[in-house]
Amino acid sequence: MTCSTPIRAIRAVVTVAWDNAARLAMHLRAGDRNRRTRPTMPPDTAWQQALEALHPAGATAGRSAAQWWAQDVFGGRSRGDVTGAARRILVGLDDGDPEILDGLPAADRYLLTHDADRYAEAAPVGAPGWAELTAARCDQTRWAWCGGFDEAVTDEVTRHCRVVLSPTGDDRDLSHLHPDQVRLGGPGVFAGDWAWAPGDDGELRVPVGFVGTLVDTWNGWAVFTCTRGVAEAIVADQQAARDRYRRNLAAQGISGAAQDRMVDEALARMRFDGDVIHVDQTVACGDPDAVERITPDRQGRYVVMGRSWTWTAVHPYDCDRIVGDLPDPPGRPPTPAT
């Protein structure tokens, strides 16, 4: 007896339900097999949390070590010229000078015998014990802790150096105002090349620097614009220089008309008349017409003796005092100088 109806193979159907509510049906062919796989193991979050905690733990230790170090270098236990030391350290950090880097606080962070204690102090509850870690993980804990330590030491040492050198007494980063960074249309700190004088440590310093915007150069000298407040400070500084010279002449027994003539020959008369700066150089130049009137531009800014005086850009750290708003690096609002 024959059967006219073909015999069909029975195929299994596997239905898959996804987490997003989608469904998928798969027909298995002859010989196909399916099996349950082992579920994916969750990430070792406890270990990751322990590793992440070690970097800030090292940073805390690094800041503390740098603060103690600063007491010896810049604080009450320091000896010698702290400003000179701060300059050398900042330059050494920028250049990666091994001599400077070797002098930074190192504590005992590379002693392997301390690794277990540091891990125990920093690891959160539920983290694997030190004895459970593989050799590779032990190395990772050391790298994380030491990385935090070294970064914090560098940052804290840099901050202390900036405080020592800053004319405003804070730790603002003024590297963008370095003379090499001053560009046309950009900010800078300016002083006359005649203004340099030896400080208490014998190094040449600028008693006062003036914040402005470089707009031109003249025979290699800077031409800059400044605010009314800075312009007033320049006029006042000129008058103070005249007064000092007058006192020196008086100490030499020179007075009266001779004294007036010598002061006027050396330093121009400057004064504000409303919004205009009057500069009288008739005696210094031997020219009765050598009187200049400096008026503000539409923004109220002045070019004080630009293309006449030998102004130059100076580093803020070389100034004992700065007049004007020191601009912070791009992206942050300016902070007024004090």
Segments making up each domain of the chain, as ranges: 45-165, 177-336
pLDDT, mean of residues 152-180 = 84
Nearest-angstrom CA–CA distance, 15 and 10: 16
Nearest-angstrom CA–CA distance, 51 and 61: 16
Q: Is the pLDDT of residue 25 over 80?
A: no
Output the pTM of the full model. 0.60
pLDDT at 87: 81
Q: Is the pLDDT of residue 24 over 80?
A: no
Q: Please list the residues that pair with 269 across neighbouring strands.
A: 280
Q: For 176-189, give one letter per residue: b (16+ CB within 10 A) or e.
A: ebeeeebeeeebbb
pLDDT at 68: 87
Q: Whole-angstrom distance between the N-terminal and C-terminal Cα of the chain? A: 113
More confident residue, 190 or 3: 190
pLDDT at 166: 78
Query: Angle 28-31-37 (CA atoms, 0-180°, nearest 5)?
Result: 70
pLDDT in tens, 29-44: 666 666 655 444 455 7
Contact 72, 160 (CB under 8 A): no
Among 18-32, 103-117, 139-153, which is the least confidently predicted range? 18-32
Name residue 68's amino acid. W
pLDDT in tens, 62-105: 999 998 888 888 876 656 667 778 888 888 888 888 888 888 88
pLDDT at 303: 97
Name residue 12's amino acid. A
Q: Is the pLDDT of residue 304 over 90?
A: yes
Q: At what angle do helices 45-73 and 82-95 cross, to 10 degrees?
A: 140
- Confidence band of 4 (pLDDT split at 50, 70, 90): very low
pLDDT, mean of residues 219-225 = 96
pLDDT averaged over every residue in the chain: 83
pLDDT, mean of residues 270-295 = 92
The CB density around residue 296, as the number of other CB atoms within 10 Å, is 16
Token pair listed for 127 = 């983290």
Q: Is the pLDDT of residue 116 over 60?
A: yes
Among 36-50, 113-127, 246-260, 277-291, which is the least confidently predicted range? 36-50
Look up tokens 């002083």; give the residue: 191
- Confidence band of 331 (pLDDT split at 50, 70, 90): low
